[in-house]
Amino acid sequence: MIASLVLAAAWPAGHAAADAPEDILFDVYRNGSPFGEHTVRFRETDEGALQVDVDVSLRAGLGPITLFRYRHDSREVWEDGELVGLTAETYNDGNEMDVSLQGEAIPPLTLSSHWRGYQAGAEQVLNTETGEAMDVVIEDLGREVFQTPGGPVEANRIRITGTLTADLWYDDSGRWIGCAFQARGQDIRYVLRES
């Protein structure tokens, strides 16, 4: 079975919200030092939809002086495996962006929120910071052993190249378990919190 197809199907149509994945919580490190966190939380709404809240908070500083701050809060609403709502607020080191897309206004693209995975060969994703299509190159780098706090895991490695190049790891169930990339010459690494 092709790993990228498993990743693209991590939340297929027809799944009930009761089947929602467990929350994904990462501590983020910059050059080995704490840099922030990235969380993906899932819950069923009263209407039976799947609500996905993605929160990213990153800060680099010198003591109490902040040199860089990034904050991204988004909410995805899924009904029967289809995205029906996306709202997001992003603060990227002084630049603020807001997104609000509902229903047919949402382009039929995979979101850049990583938790659902990507299909190798896809040429665009929907950037959750801007609400616009973003050109990408997605490569399936195959399987490898990936170290998690719970021990080594057989994982599928995907590389997405867009505004930056990130390597993403997913376990056999399609759950996102790791991320690594470079930004502004800094090594950024996501470490999954033990659940």
pLDDT > 80? residue 12: no
Q: What pLDDT does 44 receive?
A: 95
Listed in sequence order, the DSSP H helices in the chain are 3-8
Q: What pLDDT does 20 receive?
A: 72
Looking up tokens 């040429």 gives 123
Tell me if 124 sits within 8 A of 134, measured CB to CB. Answer: yes
Q: What pLDDT does 2 receive?
A: 34
Whole-prediction pTM value? 0.88
Q: What pLDDT does 19 receive?
A: 65
Query: Domain segments of the chain: what residues?
Result: 3-192
Tell me if 27 sits within 8 A of 191, measured CB to CB. Answer: yes
State the chain's mean pLDDT as an integer.
90
pLDDT > 80? residue 15: no
Q: What average pLDDT does this structure show over 169-184?
A: 96
pLDDT > 60? residue 7: no
Q: What pLDDT does 182 receive?
A: 96
Q: Where are the beta strands (DSSP E) in the chain?
A: 24-30, 33-44, 50-62, 65-79, 82-92, 95-102, 124-126, 133-135, 137-148, 151-161, 165-170, 176-183, 186-192
Q: What pLDDT does 135 receive?
A: 98
Return the bridge partners of 50, or none.
44, 78
| Separation in Å, CA 169 to CA 31, 34, 174 | 19, 20, 9
Q: Which two tokens stand for residue 34?
A: 């704490």
